[in-house]
Amino acid sequence: MQPLLQAIAQRLDREGVAEAQFPDHKGEYWAHCPFPDHEDSTPSFSVSERGYNCFGCGRKGGLTALARELGMDASDTPAEGCTLESYAQAKHLPLAFLRQLGLETATAGRSPVLRIPYSDEQGDLLRYRRRHALCKPRHRKDDRFSWESDRAGQKVYLYGLWRWEEVVKAGWVVIVEGESDCHTLWQLDLPAIGAPGADTFKTTWANRFEGLKVYVWQEPDRGGATFVAQVRRVADAVIASAD
């Protein structure tokens, strides 16, 4: 995702737009038309690396022209990568709240990355995960994330373990894929625990949820279906072994 497109996408009104449409499988970001004389009730505005097109009012053009229409200048264009500020804006979350969770901007080479701490039930640091970009890349492997000190044999952990007492107190939990859904649910004071990838949920984690009412959140994309299927396989295996 080029920096200008990233900056424009962060300014768009995407209320009511599914995650799978931001971007969709063609790399197009759908939102409400930003032009003040077109008040669309449904998202009819598409922007991608090829430019923009509103299927409601008919306006179309390139990214530079759209940036001018939005009142942007060169200083609005972020560097490649992911910063705490760009993440907060994209996810509509308060900066102060994310800082309380230990998130911070770091660097990987010349690019900024979002550094996300994973801690245990006592709040002791386990590992850091890095987010290198806000959006999934097109037509190639998803390389938005990496682990710090990713040496052979290092473990993968559930995200949010230091909030486990809140989960037990509530008596229920939402299991999600990744960190961002956790951040959104925690901001709403809802109990959530995250697995760091669609196919990472482990059988050894299942016993932790015994006695709780468990909900599994499915993202509206292929990874979401993979995640739910993986959690279901784990649950079925644990139930079968107990019989």
pLDDT by residue for the chain (243 residues), tens only, comes to 567 787 888 889 888 888 888 888 888 899 999 998 888 888 899 998 889 999 999 999 988 889 888 888 755 555 568 899 989 988 999 999 999 999 999 987 767 899 999 999 999 999 999 998 887 765 456 678 999 876 666 789 999 999 999 999 999 999 999 999 999 999 999 999 999 988 899 999 998 998 999 999 988 777 788 999 999 998 887 777 766
Q: How distant, in Å, are the alpha carbons of 113, 149, 150, 156, 160 from that of 153?
A: 24, 11, 9, 9, 22
Q: How distant, in Å, are the alpha carbons of 115, 154, 155, 198, 229 from that of 151?
A: 18, 6, 9, 21, 28
| DSSP helix/strand/coil, 227 | helix
Residue spans in the chain of domains classed CATH 3.40.50: 161-242
- For the beta carbon of residue 98, count every other beta carbon within 10 angstroms: 20
**CATH topology classification for 161-242:** Rossmann fold (3.40.50)
Q: Is the pTM of this model over 0.85?
A: no
